[in-house]
């Protein structure tokens, strides 16, 4: 048996000549044993289908799913935005097929796009510097907290500041990111109005506080009106203020986290800038920081000097968190989206998101205990099971909202319609909400009736998925 011995490949040609396979060094090696039995099989159980049959199979599968291209998708706090198709055209251009390991001199155009996106996001967030590397929102959170940790360690407070404060209504990833970074998590109870309780915050922070992780507007869609006082309390205690960018859609072009006193933030490009969301990626969760934290960002950073773009290593970098500078095509789509909309377009996006949320809320017959809200709201299903309500909404041809969270609202239905929905779509959603509120508990408990799959064991489906190209009951 032969194999290529890559250690003797001749890649040293200064002109970039790539040797043919036959010109590369080969050597014979003896393989003592064949592959183990458990790694071999006699045949592959693949279907034998004609092209039309194959096309129909995947078309049928696509029709069994519900996605943002199928209809309204109002998952609260997830910002399931419509993804403009022109960004896919941009990402499919032959010119963007760039190998990530090419040297900086040969990819000046690519680096220019990175640098411009860094500047766009820094301007939007009110931050001094942005890194594009983190491959998802949660990865951005973790990277941001690691940058904050490196900052405290550099100032000889790493051991002392071992706590991160997180509001009880925060996204679950906030708790996870802080814990993964090695911090003890201090849960902050909400005030009676659903916002941060300043007295509770003052009692929670101190010499052990490394950071407060905050979403603004919060997961109830409420703007933290005391954000400047919140920033002062955290900073006076020596901590940093971290902005969870999940709800940046509500502020886009109108307010900036940096101006509110946040020191570090992450952007969910898939939520705010209409790149694909969910499904395991690829994603992108850039982080922005103030000047004091720049030296701790991941390496490399793209920098421009005299019209040339280069890769540099921040002085006290936490290291590398993703290959190349991030998920290139996702970042390119965000660049295209921001460039197409411009300042006025981004602001218009945010205003329509807030308008749509308020219009939809005005049309449904459910209690909304906290307000005034911005781009999303949390209604209460009251004595009914929010999960039952959600399942029944599927029968009306719409995707249901997020359910049972945040827990400070009884049987919560968190709804975020986004700016992309028309009045007709919003009326369709409202009609589904209202139809379900008039139905009996037995009907709700047996829903959904009209979907390709009825109720499933959600825990088993998440922890023990069974994936197959054919029907599991055949």
Instruction: Determine the CATH number of domain 343-454.
Output: 3.90.1150.10
pLDDT value at 12 more than 50:
no
Q: At residue 15, does pLDDT exceed 60? A: no
Whole-number Cα distances in Å, 68 to 361, 425, 471: 20, 12, 25
Place 458 in a pLDDT band, splitting at 50, 70 and 90: confident
The predicted pLDDT at position 312 comes to 96
Give domain 86-340's CATH number out of 2.60.40.10, 3.40.640.10, 3.90.45.10, 3.40.30.10: 3.40.640.10
How far is Cα 122 from Cα 337, in angstroms, rounded to an integer?
16
| Cβ neighbourhood burial of 91 (10 Å; 0-12, 13-18, 19+) | middle
Band (pLDDT 50/70/90 cuts) for residue 473 is: low
- pLDDT value, residue 129: 98
Q: Give the mean pLDDT of the chain.
A: 91
Query: Residue 426: which of 374, 366, 361 has the closest Cα?
Result: 361
pLDDT, residue 278, reads 65
Query: For residue 6, is pLDDT > 60?
Result: no
The reported pLDDT for the residue numbered 36 is: 81
Domain locations in the chain as residue ranges: 1-64, 86-340, 343-454
Percent of the chain whose predicted confidence (pLDDT) is above 70: 92
135, 285 Cβ separation under 8 angstroms? yes
Q: What is the pTM of this model?
A: 0.87
Alpha helices by DSSP H, 220-318: 227-236, 257-260, 269-272
Question: CA-based angle 181:184:188, to the nearest 5?
Answer: 115
Place 325 in a pLDDT band, splitting at 50, 70 and 90.
Answer: confident
pLDDT value of position 239 = 98
Same fold, 86-340 and 343-454: no
**Of residues 45, 53, 64, the one with CA closest to residue 469:** 45
- Give tens-digit pLDDT for 284-308: 999 999 999 999 999 999 999 999 9
Rounded-to-integer distance, Cα 243 and Cα 371, Å: 21
Greatest distance between any 2 Cα atoms in the chain: 77
State pLDDT tens for residues 61-98.
888 888 888 889 999 988 988 989 999 999 999 989 98
Query: CA separation (Å) from 141 to 134, 183, 301, 391?
Result: 9, 13, 18, 31
Q: Which range is least confidently modeled, 64-78, 211-225, 361-375?
A: 64-78
* pLDDT number for residue 465: 87
Decide: 247 and 216 in contact? Cβ < 8 Å. Answer: yes
């Amino acid at each position: 048996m032969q194999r290529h011995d890559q250690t003797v490949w001749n890649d040293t040609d200064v002109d970039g000549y790539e040797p043919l396979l036959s010109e590369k060094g080969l050597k014979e090696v003896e393989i003592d044993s064949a592959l183990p039995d458990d790694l071999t099989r006699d045949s592959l159980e693949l279907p034998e289908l004609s092209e039309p049959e194959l096309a129909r199979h995947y078309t049928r599968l696509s029709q069994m799913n519900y996605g943002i291209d199928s209809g309204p998708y109002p998952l609260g706090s997830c910002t399931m935005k419509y993804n403009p198709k022109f960004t896919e055209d941009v990402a499919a251009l032959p010119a963007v097929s760039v190998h990530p390991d090419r040297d900086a001199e040969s990819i000046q155009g690519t680096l220019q796009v990175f640098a411009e996106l860094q500047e766009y996001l820094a301007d939007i967030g009110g931050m001094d510097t942005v890194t594009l590397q983190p491959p998802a929102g949660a990865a951005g959170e973790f990277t941001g907290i690691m940058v904050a940790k490196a900052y405290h360690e550099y100032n000889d407070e790493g051991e002392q500041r071992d706590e991160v404060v997180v509001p009880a209504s925060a996204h679950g990833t906030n708790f996870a990111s802080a814990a993964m970074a090695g911090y003890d998590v201090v849960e902050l109870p909400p005030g009676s109005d659903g916002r941060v309780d300043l007295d509770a915050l003052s009692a929670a922070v101190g010499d052990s506080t490394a950071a407060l992780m905050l979403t603004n507007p919060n997961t109830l869609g409420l703007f933290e009106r005391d954000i400047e006082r919140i920033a002062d309390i955290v900073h006076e205690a020596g901590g940093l203020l971290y902005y969870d960018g999940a709800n940046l859609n509500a502020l886009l072009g109108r307010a900036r986290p940096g101006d509110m006193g946040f020191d570090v933030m992450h952007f969910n490009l898939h939520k705010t800038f209409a790149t694909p969301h969910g499904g395991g990626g690829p994603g992108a969760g850039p982080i922005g920081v103030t000047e004091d934290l720049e030296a701790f960002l991941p390496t490399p950073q793209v920098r421009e000097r005299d019209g040339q773009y280069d890769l540099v290593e921040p002085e006290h970098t936490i290291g590398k968190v993703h290959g190349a500078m991030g998920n290139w095509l996702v970042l390119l789509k965000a660049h295209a989206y921001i460039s197409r909309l411009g300042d006025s377009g981004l602001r218009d996006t945010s205003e329509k998101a807030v308008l749509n949320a308020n219009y939809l809320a005005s049309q449904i017959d459910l209690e909304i205990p906290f307000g005034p809200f911005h781009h999303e709201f949390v209604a209460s299903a009251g004595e009914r099971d929010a999960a039952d309500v959600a399942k029944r909404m599927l029968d009306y041809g719409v995707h249901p909202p997020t359910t049972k969270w945040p827990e400070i609202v009884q049987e919560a239905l968190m709804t975020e319609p986004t700016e992309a929905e028309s009045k007709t779509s919003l009326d369709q959603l409202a009609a589904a909400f209202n139809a379900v509120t008039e139905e009996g508990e037995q009907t709700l408990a047996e829903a959904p009736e009209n979907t390709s799959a009825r109720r499933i064991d959600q825990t088993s489906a998440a922890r023990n998925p069974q994936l197959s190209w054919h029907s599991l009951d055949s």
